């Protein structure tokens, strides 16, 4: 009995591994089992998500008609997509008209429909001319199209609705550019999906951000459930994940109540503002604000990411979690991989691999470090820049680009940390003892990201002075 008792803390799980129980999996494959699973998931989704009735209806149809999964995903995506989700109000006002001055019909005809034709045309070109530039380097082609659209939007003599339409088209293009890059790449392969199936991967109905979650049709085919047992295991994991998500959302509520209302820990932006005003807050409050903010970000990204992935699993796709135990990370690179998995995958697919294939082939460590640096600095900055290009309508293109100087500095520091973490020799797991592996190493990693977060909020000069204040205490 002693070995069982001693292994209890290690083997204990708040939510048991139900997917490993043959009786549970057998029950879930029956009609009552499927209905019970859908009922539990629907209850949790109604608390956490929006449009839960339609999502639950789609998942129910997919559960009982798995042969039509991809078609149903596409239908659900089209039903739940807000085709007018570009920054309508700000763009319309900058164009000299109120948002109510433009009809949805004209917006659909001149913005949405041309964008659909552009996507279909690019995917057709990739499928037809697989060895062309469009098929081999889709991201390069898309960046060229985006740059041309940006120049037209900024410098063409356009007024009124024409100006609004060009900027809205550019905004829509930027919101979908990474989805389109994955789809064009998939269309260029012999097993690539058809256009209708590709449409389902563009912000699928379970939810996503500018980052495809999960990534692209090619990846979807590898994680799709192929048998009733496989589907049952995947759905059980989906219910477990949304149950964990529900628990985490409650923990977040109590955490915010304790930290901000009871303990009055300030936000990092408040600490920096007070420091720059010459009236810094207490040294302990400054120190506590940074890990507090990082923990809140972790809980937020975990909650919405788990909700997306849980719904994706219920639809029959064995997708990995977007965020998985980042606080247990022993290296900077491991934390980056665990924090926002699909964003990391996007940077790897779009920037790391193309750089890794072409540069420093004779120097393995330099090859990895340089490819990592390009992905985590240039790729990271470019991704975030495309999300804010629409602000150039109110300012100027140069002002918008220069506003990313601070973020680029932050990205460079992040890239250096990840690259050094990857090429640095690592001791075998367990060789440093439990305390150093489980406590000291994760604490050092968390400290690095806390210090790095300073430069995500403020510019390098004030950030360095603030860090000196934190370290010296005065």
| Burial classification of residue 137, based on how many CB atoms lie within 10 Å of its CB (0-12 exposed, 13-18 middle, 19 or more buried) | middle
Q: Give the mean model confidence (pLDDT) for residues 348-359.
A: 94
Q: What is the pLDDT of residue 30?
A: 94
Tell me the two tokens of residue 47.
């608390």
CA torsion sign for 176, 182, 187, 192 is negative
Q: What is the pLDDT of residue 9?
A: 55
Q: Report d(CA 118, CA 254) in Å as an integer.
A: 47
Report which listed range, 140-149, 357-366, 435-444, is most confident. Answer: 140-149
Long-range contacts at 71-78 (CB < 8 A, ≥ 24 apart): 71/196, 71/197, 73/200, 73/204, 73/205, 73/315, 74/196, 74/197, 74/199, 74/200, 76/200, 76/204, 76/205, 77/199, 77/200, 77/202, 77/203, 77/204, 77/205, 78/199
Give the C-alpha distances (Å, rounded to integers) separating 450 from 289, 408, 462: 9, 17, 16
* Residue 433 pLDDT class (50, 70, 90 cuts): confident
Structure-token match 């060895």, residue found? 131
The whole-chain average pLDDT of the chain stands at: 89
441-457 helix and 405-423 helix, angle to the nearest 10 degrees: 160
Q: What is the pLDDT of residue 161?
A: 84
Task: Write the DSSP symbol of residue 224.
Answer: B
Q: Give the mean model confidence (pLDDT) for residues 297-320.
A: 95
Q: Give the mean model confidence (pLDDT) for residues 328-332.
A: 93
Q: With 50 as the cut, is the pLDDT of residue 2 above it?
A: no
Long-range contacts at 247-252 (CB < 8 A, ≥ 24 apart): 247/14, 248/299, 248/302, 248/303, 248/306, 249/47, 249/48, 249/303, 251/299, 252/296, 252/299, 252/300, 252/303
Q: With 90 as the cut, is the pLDDT of residue 354 above it?
A: yes
Q: What is the pLDDT of residue 435?
A: 84
Tell me the two tokens of residue 133.
């530039």
pLDDT digits (tens, 9 = 90+) for 220-266: 999 999 999 999 999 999 999 999 999 999 999 999 999 988 888 99
Predicted TM-score of the model (pTM): 0.91
pLDDT digits (tens, 9 = 90+) for 87-124: 666 676 666 665 556 777 888 899 899 999 999 999 99
Q: Are 231 and 37 in contact (CB under 8 A)?
A: no
Task: Write the DSSP symbol of residue 7.
Answer: T
Alpha helices for 188-266 (secondary structure H): 195-199, 216-223, 228-256
Q: With 80 as the cut, is the pLDDT of residue 462 above it?
A: yes
Number of separate helices (H) and strands (E) present in the chain: 27, 0
Q: Report d(CA 179, CA 197) in Å as an integer.
A: 13
Task: Write the DSSP symbol of residue 259.
Answer: I
Q: With 60 as the cut, is the pLDDT of residue 191 above it?
A: yes
Q: With 70 as the cut, is the pLDDT of residue 10 above it?
A: no
Q: Give the mean model confidence (pLDDT) for residues 308-323.
A: 96
pLDDT digits (tens, 9 = 90+) for 374-427: 999 999 999 999 988 877 777 788 888 888 899 999 999 999 999 999 888 777
């Amino acid at each position: 009995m002693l070995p069982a008792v001693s292994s209890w803390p290690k083997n204990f799980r708040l939510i048991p591994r139900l997917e490993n129980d043959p009786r549970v999996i057998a029950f879930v494959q029956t009609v009552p089992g499927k209905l019970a699973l859908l009922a539990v998931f629907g209850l949790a989704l109604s608390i956490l998500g929006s449009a839960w009735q339609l999502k639950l209806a789609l998942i129910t149809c997919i559960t009982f008609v798995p042969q039509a999964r991809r078609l149903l995903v596409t239908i659900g995506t089209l039903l739940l997509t807000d085709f007018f989700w570009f920054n309508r109000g700000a763009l319309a006002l900058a164009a000299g008209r109120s948002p109510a001055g433009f009809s949805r019909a004209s917006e659909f005809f001149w913005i949405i429909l041309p964008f659909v034709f552009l996507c279909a045309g690019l995917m057709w070109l990739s499928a037809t001319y697989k060895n062309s530039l469009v098929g081999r380097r889709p991201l390069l082609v898309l960046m060229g199209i985006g740059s041309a659209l940006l120049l037209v939007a900024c410098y063409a003599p356009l007024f009124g609705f024409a100006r609004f339409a060009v900027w809205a088209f550019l905004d829509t293009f930027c919101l979908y550019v990474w989805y389109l890059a994955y789809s064009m790449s998939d269309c260029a392969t012999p097993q690539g999906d058809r256009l209708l199936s590709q449409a389902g991967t563009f912000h699928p109905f379970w939810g996503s951000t500018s980052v495809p979650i999960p990534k692209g049709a090619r990846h979807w085919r590898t994680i799709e459930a192929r048998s009733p047992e496989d589907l049952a295991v995947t759905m059980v994991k989906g219910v477990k994940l949304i149950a964990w998500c529900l628990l985490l959302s409650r923990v977040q509520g109590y955490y915010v109540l304790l930290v901000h209302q009871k303990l009055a820990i300030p936000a990092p932006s408040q600490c920096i503002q007070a420091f720059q005003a010459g009236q810094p807050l207490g040294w302990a409050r400054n120190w506590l604000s940074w890990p507090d903010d990082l923990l809140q970000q972790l809980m937020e990204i975990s909650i919405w990411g788990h909700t997306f992935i849980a719904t994706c699993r219920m639809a029959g796709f064995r997708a990995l979690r977007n965020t998985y135990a980042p606080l247990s990370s022993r290296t900077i690179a491991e934390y980056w991989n665990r924090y926002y998995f699909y964003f990391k995958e996007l940077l790897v697919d779009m920037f790391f691999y193309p750089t890794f294939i072409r540069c420093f082939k004779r120097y393995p460590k330099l090859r990895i470090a340089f490819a990592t640096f390009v992905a985590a600095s240039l790729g990271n900055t470019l991704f975030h820049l495309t999300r804010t290009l629409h602000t150039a309508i109110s300012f100027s293109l140069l002002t918008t680009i220069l506003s990313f100087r601070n973020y680029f500095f932050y990205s460079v520091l992040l890239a250096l940390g990840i690259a050094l973490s990857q090429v640095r020799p690592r001791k075998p797991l367990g060789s440093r003892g439990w305390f150093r592996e489980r406590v000291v190493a994760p604490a050092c990693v968390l400290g690095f990201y806390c210090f790095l977060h300073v430069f995500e909020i403020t510019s390098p000069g004030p950030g360095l002075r603030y860090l000196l204040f934190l370290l010296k205490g005065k």
